[in-house]
Amino acid sequence: MGFLDGLWRGRESAFDSGSAASNAIELTKRYGQVSLTKQGAATGHLRINLSWRMRTSDFGGTQRESLLRHPFKALKPPEVVGHSQSMVNVDLDLGCLYELQDGTKGVVQPLGGFLGEVNAPPYVKLSGDDRFGSGSGETMYVNLDQRENLKRLLVFVYIYDQTPAFDRTHAMVTLYPSNGPRIEIGLDERHPQARSCAVVMIENVRNEILVRREVKFVYGFQAELDRLYGWGLQWGRGFKTKAER
């Protein structure tokens, strides 16, 4: 039985997913976990991508109000809507709290330049930092060929500039296993004051690699996520360099 056969046969109700052609699984509150091991996808490099775009309602409101006051504007060609200063300032970052089987704990994130390593501990590496949510977004790699050394990885998203912005963005974290469907976790819940979000837990449970949706918004930063999941790290204020920003 092929990978896709094993995933989809008799499992149509197991996930909210796209069609077979879209080749995607969406983790939701109702169906929030998938086993990479059972799907034959617990090897190679797992690519994790963060991308986002602004909610159209953020700039649509002023246009609608203008049309009500000046209805003849509807006859004019639509203007290109550019980013306002507040929109440009939205800076979502991708990070990961890790715990290895030998007890080593730490964080991979742009803040502080903790970019990790993919072929050495912690076997997690961040490829870059995208400030404006472009098509490529931010990407992290997990070396699942070293899965026996991994205990748990908590992938999270936080707002660098400290301005609550989850309420103004459509953010998506997508996992791309070395084979098989991608796994999507949307961050579309409205949490206007949240500054961080625990998105997904990747856990080695008795040699089985499980991916579990979390999507827990918090009003603080990494230290609050740490307390929520019992990581036990020491945190201090950090900054990005100009190159990292």
Residue with tokens 């969406």: 26
pLDDT per position as a tens digit, 96-134 = 999 999 999 999 998 888 999 999 999 999 986 444 444
Q: Using an 8 Å Cβ cutoff, are 96 and 155 in contact?
A: yes
pTM of the full predicted structure? 0.75
CATH number for the region 3-54+85-229 comes to: 2.60.60.30
Model confidence band, residue 5 (pLDDT cutoffs 50, 70, 90): very low
Closest to 92 in 3D by CA, of 24, 142, 155: 155
Residue 8 sits at φ, ψ, to 5 deg, of: -95, -25
Distance between CA atoms of residues 78 and 5, nearest Å: 47
The mean pLDDT value of the chain amounts to 76
pLDDT score recorded for residue 101: 97
Task: Identify the DSSP state of 81.
Answer: P
Whether the CB-CB separation of 11 and 25 falls below 8 Å is answered with no
Confidence at residue 182, expressed as pLDDT on a 0 to 100 scale: 96
CA distance 193 to 205: 34
Q: Which residue has the tokens 């076997």?
A: 123
β-pairing, 24-26 vs 33-35, is unpaired
Residues 6+ apart with CB under 8 A from 231: 97, 99, 105, 154, 225
Write down how long the chain is: 245
pLDDT one-digit tens code per residue, 146-198: 999 999 999 999 886 655 567 777 789 999 999 889 999 998 777 778 889 99
CA 242 to CA 245: how far, in whole Å? 5
